[in-house]
Amino acid sequence: MARKPKPEVRFAVCITDVEPDLDARKVYQVLPDESAAKTKYVRIVDESGEDYLYPAKYFAFIEVPAKAKAKVKVVG
């Protein structure tokens, strides 16, 4: 049985200050969630290690260079 490849770690920067549980200009880890994406939401991991759904419009998705990804602590 073939194993599914591990999804690539993605990141997004928060671009709003309307959500009290998010910090504007902070980078968050994004978890894959096809169902959420269909409704224009994104699954974000916060400082506690828990993940929550937020409107995708609250974030700008960013590319992180491979060298930096190796140094980033990924929660979860």
Tell me what pLDDT residue 6 has: 63
CA-closest candidate to residue 48, choices 24, 29, 65, 61: 29
Question: What domains are there in the chain, each with its CATH number?
Answer: 10-69 (2.30.30.40)
pLDDT for 75 beyond 60: no
Give the count of alpha carbons within 13 A of 32, CB side only.
6
Chain center to CA of 33: 10
More confident residue, 75 or 34: 34
Q: What percent of the chain has pLDDT over 90?
A: 59
Q: Is 56 exposed, middle or buried (0-12, 13-18, 19+ CB in 10 A)?
A: middle
CA-closest candidate to residue 34, choices 53, 16, 11, 20: 53
